[in-house]
Amino acid sequence: MTVKITSIGLKGLEGYRVEVEVHLLPDQPSMVIVGLPDASVREAKERVLAAMHSLGNEQPSKKIIVNLSPPEQKKNGPLFDLAMVIGILKASGIIKERIPQNIAFLGALSLDGSIRSVDGLLSVVLAAKRIGIEMVYLPEDSSIPISQIPGIRCIAVRHVKEVLQSLSGQELHPLTSIPSTAAIHVSSPHSKRDFRHILGHQQAKRALEIAAAGGHHVFMSGPPGCGKSLLSETFPSILPTLSDEESLEVMSIYQLAQIPGPPVRIPPFRQPHHSASYVSIVGGGASPRPGEVSLAHHGVLFLDEMGEFTKKTLDTLRQPIETGKVTISRASGTVTYPARFLLLGAMNPCPCGYLGSKTHYCSCTPKQLELYRNRISGPIFDRMDIILNLQPVQLEREQINGESSENIRERVMKARERQYERYGSNLTNSIVPVELLLSQSLPANQKRMLEQTASTQAWSNRVQMKVIRLARTIADLKGEANITDEAIWEAVTLRRVTQSQKSSRLAR
């Protein structure tokens, strides 16, 4: 008789059901693992047999064949150890109870039978929930908030003996309490910075509030020291906190990448250096790992000195900006990671940085200026929602205390709630499908205003749609049910480029 035990395989963050099939044959005592196992899976044979010995059960006097199905999918890591030992104990008659197929077994084995955690365990549990698994046995791990994963029952165990006790109906001893995302109060602020400490830049602050409310991408240009980096680094302070589901997704990505994540329910803020390779930005490697675009999922990706990134690196952002995910293809297979981030880009207007400055003379030649601007391709520039041209502020004319980030964040959260209620899910205006966004068509005068500006600015259809999305967000901030003429006009001004930028784009 063939015994089938359920486990979960992981491909990127996407999980799939793995049936660990165990069959005993009348032959010399041995154990064979098939189903495209890698080295770490093949080595499970020694771990499983040693764990059985520690339980007082010797290897069956038969040939043990373990098949990991589906056989065409390559299996990686020691995640299937627990399912294998449970399958062998069931096939040997040691486990009498029936084991349903909607129960999954996850975890690596030590030689003494204790169960250890594996990399990306939270991702595996979330994947098990998505494919319909109702209960999982998994190693105790304080970094996994199992009590806050709805829709699936998680039983944390330390040893194979505890799994056998649970399967036989015995009550397990209480385990060490595991912190939950809901129980942890976010007492620390989003950011140590606050908008009330930034002098001037009222238009930029207003634009960033709109960006936070609707999830819109922002491109900032201005001379050195005008405040581009300061505004960007303060931007997270006005973002809403993550929901429990979003927080779990972010935690799972950082666990898979094996790096510390942001505080609980705080949107991630990633700021890679301009020398970063395109692999580190979008992810990859021999065993593809999440890149910066995935680490910024549900948060912000800030590219300072955007013009210094290689053109190849910037162009790889096209897919994740549009789809909210990144697909990495290698000879060993294809993996997909989520990458729904808000992009902030900042760069100088020219190589020397002083084009258009009122206090410094620009020494750049037209050729240098053209080469510098062409580092950001037209398709990438086209995908930016808001274009900001900043200038240095005169300190003596500005008030020290402006509006606080807390007040701005309250308006942002209310605007987000209006969007969630209107669309029936956690969709912002920047990513909602067009048919939902345009459930009510624009009045004739607004269409005419948009068409005239689009003709003057040489806007593509994508840019015109972005202006409508911006206008919808502006109306949400004001609590308007429909897009107003004022919202359309403000959206147009937020996307309008300067004459020098326009000439540079048309020259391509």
What's the pLDDT score for residue 173? Answer: 54
Please give the average per-residue pLDDT across 147-160, as a whole number: 89
Contact, 204 vs 231, CB < 8 A? yes
pLDDT in tens, 218-264: 999 999 888 899 999 999 999 999 998 899 999 999 998 889 889 88
Please give the average per-residue pLDDT across 446-475, as a whole number: 92
Please give the average per-residue pLDDT across 96-119, as a whole number: 94
What's the pLDDT score for residue 172? Answer: 67
Whether the predicted pLDDT of 78 surpasses 50: yes
Whether the predicted pLDDT of 137 surpasses 90: yes
Please state, in angstroms and rounded to a whole number, the distance separating the CA atoms of residues 315 and 11: 25
Instruction: Give the global pTM.
Output: 0.87
What's the pLDDT score for residue 507? Answer: 42
Whether the predicted pLDDT of 119 surpasses 50: yes
Among 172-176, 277-281, 368-372, 456-460, name the one with the lowest average pLDDT.
172-176
Beta strand 289-290 pairing with 283-284 = antiparallel
pLDDT band at 1 (very low <50, low <70, confident <90, very high): confident
Whether the predicted pLDDT of 142 surpasses 50: yes
396/228: higher pLDDT:
228
For helices 485-495 and 444-457, the axis angle rounded to 10 degrees is 10
DSSP letter (8 states) at residue 438: T
269/27: higher pLDDT:
269
Whether the predicted pLDDT of 368 surpasses 80: yes
Among 168-172, 213-217, 390-394, name the one with the lowest average pLDDT.
168-172
Q: For the chain, list the domains and their CATH numbers.
A: 3-167 (3.30.230.10), 195-427 (3.40.50.300)
pLDDT in tens, 492-505: 999 865 444 444 44
Q: How many helices (DSSP H) and strands (DSSP E) are in the chain?
A: 20, 18
147/71: higher pLDDT:
71
Where do the DSSP E strands lie in 70-175?
103-105, 108-109, 115-116, 135-139, 153-157
Whether the predicted pLDDT of 129 surpasses 80: yes
pLDDT band at 124 (very low <50, low <70, confident <90, very high): very high
Contact, 109 vs 54, CB < 8 A? no
Please state, in angstroms and rounded to a whole number, the distance separating the CA atoms of residues 104 and 6: 5
pLDDT band at 188 (very low <50, low <70, confident <90, very high): very low
What's the pLDDT score for residue 504? Answer: 44
Please give the average per-residue pLDDT across 463-491, as a whole number: 93
Whether the predicted pLDDT of 199 surpasses 90: no
Where do the DSSP E strands lie in 205-261?
218-221
pLDDT in tens, 164-187: 999 988 876 544 334 444 344 443
Whether the predicted pLDDT of 211 surpasses 50: yes
What's the pLDDT score for residue 113? Answer: 94
Please give the average per-residue pLDDT across 263-278, as a whole number: 92
Here the tokens at position 76 are 């990686």
Please give the average per-residue pLDDT across 309-325, as a whole number: 92
